[in-house]
Chain A
Amino acid sequence: MAVCFALAFAPAGLAQGSAPPAATPVGVTDNQVNAIARELYCPVCENVPLDVCPTQACAQWRDLIRQKLNDGWSEAQIQEYFALQYGDRVLAEPPRRGLNWLVYILPPLIFLVGVFIVFRTLRALRKAPGSSAQEQAPAPAPDPYVARLEEELKRREKE
């Protein structure tokens, strides 16, 4: 973040506002630019989406998106361009290839292992010795909660 700020402000010093948008291509709205910038990350700052990064550098990158949109580029093409220029870190998620697959595969895999462990634990604990009698015990009477609550209240009030 500090690097980004330094890069952005060192040359400009006290930089109130940015250059007048005279050269900005017309026809492309801020909202169209932001829709793409939101999916990209500032190539310099840590974990700051491009649409909200307040630095001059990012303002220039947003202008670049505007320029590309004006030239008729699609969102995918712009994303690819940024990834090629600045590396995969500008993408909101790692592209699905090579080692990156681990990001997507490992958490569900570990979760499934967790499900399996929980399932086994529940089964093992249900089979615990002496449990059969209780397993066959009838379900509690209707409205068990209120019954329990009242029983508890009775007990506490006796104390």
Chain B
Amino acid sequence: MIANFGFGALLICFVVSLYGIGAAIYGVRRNALAWTESARAAMLLTWPLLTLAAVSLVYLLVAGHYEVQFVYNVTSSAMPLYLRMTALWGGQAGSLVFWSWLMSAFASAVMLRSWQRDREFQPWVIVVSLVTLAFFLGLVIFVENPFARFWQTANGMQVISMFQPAGGTLLLPPDGRGLNPLLRHPGMIIHPPMLYLGFVSFVIPFAFAIAALITGRSDDRWIRLTRRWTLVAWLFLSLGLVFGSRWAYDVLGWGGYWGWDPVEIAAFMPWLSGTAFLHSVMIQEKRGLFKRWNLVLIIITYSLVIFGTFLTRSGVLSSVHAFAQSSIGPLFFSFISITFLISMALLLRRWNDLRSEGHMTSLLSRESLFLVNNLLFMGILVVCMWGVLFPLISELFTGQKVTVGPPFYERATGPLFAGIIFLMGIAPLSAWGHSTIKTLGRAVWKPALAALLVLIGALAAGVRSVAALITVFLIALTACITLYEYGRGVAARMRRSGENPLTALWRLAGRNRRRYGGYIIHLGVTLMAVGIIGIEMFQSETQGALKPGETLELGRYAVTFRSLAQFDTPDGRNVARAVLDVSRDGRPLGQLYPRRDYYYDSQQPMTIPGVRSSVEDDLYVLLVDWQPISSEGATFKVYHNPMINWLWAGGLVFILGTFVAAWPSREELAVVRVPAKLAVSEP
């Protein structure tokens, strides 16, 4: 009953989406506002309909309706309530419903804004949003139906179908297979929704860009309208990546946070092009340059968003043959190709109208440096894309599967990341339009001196790797420049207004949120870079089999094996949990409890590390192996991860900066408030 209801809501939503597309196009052709309004209403209707479908599916998951194939695949009676709810995005069909629901929410929110100044954009924004939504709904309804159920036909065959076959009876499995243990982690509550929010919200600037191309508006109105959407999309995507890294660190049990896995890269690629876009649009806003390039960037970002969903959902990553057999792979591929080609064709049609209005006066101007920033981001994107695609190409042409692993990515992207950090430091010092080596040098010499001191400190601390020293210098330089910029702004305010430093800092950031929010983001990135350098260049590890009372040493740390217990838990796990004493330089620091969980329902193990965290480092211990008789001994792998917590702290600073940058200024809020008041006062 509920399954039928949910499916019905999906079906109606699909029809409403198709109607909305038709009504919007018809409204433009006939120049009839009523049709556009009708299309807008259709857009707004999709969200409640999808909410009904999503709530139905969540109900089935929570209530344990295992006759529904999706519910059977991703839940079991042993799972706690929060995991049964979040299992919505724990499998392919459910995550496509979730994607659609978020997409619809964002597109509906856009419809609620005032369109008076941009009436011509509206129908095309509706068309682009609804085409994307309809594609996902089509997949859910016709290919990956989350409401399909198990049936037994009259001749005893088991079939999976939405509707009852003639003479068939519903099959009711007593329990489900349960969620993949990797996904049974609190991080699962937050990581996929953030990533998906980032994905879907990038559809909005793309929709406006396409609307601008179709209507022939060559100014930067579409950029100004979507600036905040882009920042929000970028914020969610960044959050998704940071939470995903933390989840990997806590759950995957390999001592790291990022493994250059294709699924990780799939989420990273739209972030790269989105970051390039965020910077590049500023050049168009300030100088009227690179209009075409900004459109290319948002088209690429949209394609990568769909590609990211496609990579993780099509089975293409395991093998090209899996892709060919996958029911949704070819559909995704076709959709990406068609939307990309149509978008590029629209861009080419307007090519001549989109000439740059300004010109460059200096190779050291901010716009030049932003262009180089774009080049570096796109360079990393090319490396990532090629690294993900090459194994498939190799398999296709030679039949041989190859692995493109971390060494390739680290070697290829390392210098590009270093270049970005350097630019992050000097670009804010350069002026729009004009900068010279002299002006830049004058602004940079004090922070450079401070960075030099950090470099000397690193040398004194025993760092000898040239790559590490260069990176440390660049990070220090950028951090010092950013702090110095804040200092200069605060000093200028204090001189002019006699404010105290804290008030000056608060008002400085409040007066130009975009710039100073950006600086906070840059600071966050430098902190994250410290963490990355720490773990990538200075991680150490050791492994050994210990009997109770024996000790394993790593650097200044020592872990002593005390005991191991094995027991069943009420949520369907068999847990092997070790107890270790930890000391540093002979001083006791407490105990760690690394464990291995074995999930009975899915018959999969999970390695959960025991971690001791400090500002300086993490001691990360894995239970690798143990004897059947627990008192005999166990094998442990111990990692020392220097500075890793700077990565997480930097992530928080980064997010704070994005909030500052995206928060509406007083002037903008006033603009929003005035029409609202006028609207109320109107009869």
Contacts and interface: CB of A to CB of B under 8 A. Distances in A.
Asked if A and B are interacting partners, one says yes
Interface of A: 5-6, 9-10, 13-18, 20-21, 29-31, 34, 41, 46-47, 49, 52, 54-55, 59, 87-94, 98-100, 102-103, 106-108, 110-111, 114-115, 118, 121-122, 125-126, 128, 130-131, 134-135, 137, 139-140, 142-146, 148-150, 152-153, 156
A17 B576 contact: yes
Contact of A130 (B359, B493, B544): B359
Nearest to B408: A93
A126 B360 contact: yes
A30 B386 CA distance: 35
A126 B378 contact: no
B563 interface: no
B390 A102 contact: yes
Interface residues on chain B, size class: 35 or more
B403 A93 contact: yes
B289 interface: yes
Contacts of B439: 139-140, 142, 144
A5 B600 CA distance: 13
Interface in B174-231: none
Contacts of B511: 152-153, 156
B38 interface: no
Contacts of B371: 118, 121-122
A13 B605 CA distance: 11
Contact of B397 (A5, A10, A99, A153): A99
A107 B382 CA distance: 6
B591 to A, nearest CB: 21
Nearest to A148: B431
Nearest to A139: B436
A100 B403 CA distance: 11
A139 B405 contact: no
B447 interface: no
Given A21-B545, A93-B404, A153-B493, A135 B361 contact: yes
A130 B358 CA distance: 10
A52 B408 contact: no
A45 B544 CA distance: 25
16 contacts: A16-B574, A16-B598, A34-B543, A41-B403, A54-B596, A89-B402, A91-B403, A94-B404, A108-B412, A118-B375, A134-B433, A137-B434, A139-B439, A140-B435, A144-B431, A145-B443
Contact of B404 (A5, A103, A126): A103
A31 B543 contact: yes
B635 A30 contact: yes
B123 interface: no
B253 interface: yes
B412 A114 contact: no
State the majority secondary structure of interface residues on B. mixed
B343 interface: no
Interface stretch (B80-88, B140-148, B324-332, B621-629): B621-629
Contacts of B442: 142-143
A109 B139 CA distance: 38
Interface string B609-642: 0000000000000000111100010110100000
B498 interface: no
A47 B436 contact: no
Given A20-B627, A131-B359, A139-B436, A125 B604 contact: no
A107 to B, nearest CB: 5
B356 interface: yes
A111 B390 contact: no
A55 B603 CA distance: 12
Contact of B541 (A34, A54, A88, A93): A34
Interface stretch (B54-62, B113-121, B124-132, B254-262): B254-262
A146 B63 CA distance: 63
Query: Which 9 pairs show the lowest CB-CB distances between chains A and B?
Result: A128-B359, A30-B543, A52-B254, A92-B405, A94-B402, A125-B360, A89-B401, A17-B626, A139-B436
Nearest to B416: A111
B588 to A, nearest CB: 25
A13 B317 CA distance: 28
Contacts of B435: 139-140
A103 B626 contact: no
Contact of B605 (A54, A90, A126): A54
Interface stretch (B89-97, B333-341, B484-492, B527-535): B484-492
B405 A17 contact: no
Contacts of A14: 574, 598, 600
Contacts of B433: 134
B452 interface: no
Interface in B454-486: 485
A46 B531 CA distance: 27
Contacts of A90: 403
Contact of B254 (A49, A93, A100): A49
Given A41-B405, A131-B361, 8 more contacts: A29-B543, A30-B545, A89-B401, A92-B405, A92-B407, A93-B407, A131-B360, A145-B431
A67 B382 CA distance: 41
Contacts of B628: 16-17, 20
B398 interface: yes
A12 to B, nearest CB: 10
Nearest to B289: A125
A46 to B, nearest CB: 6
A17 B431 CA distance: 62
B111 interface: no
A31 B542 contact: yes
B545 A118 contact: no
Given A47-B262, A114-B378, A149-B492, A107 B359 contact: no
Interface string B365-388: 000100110010011001100110
A87 B401 contact: yes
Nearest to A10: B603
Contacts of A18: 625
Contact of A52 (B255, B372, B387, B576): B255
Interface in B537-565: 541-545
A126 B371 CA distance: 14
A146 B493 CA distance: 10
Contact of A110 (B382, B404, B407, B627): B382
A139 B493 contact: no
By CB atoms of chain A within 10 A, which of B391, B402, B489 has the most?
A: B402
Contacts of A142: 439, 442
B318 interface: yes
B403 A99 contact: no
Interface string B333-359: 000000000000000000000001011
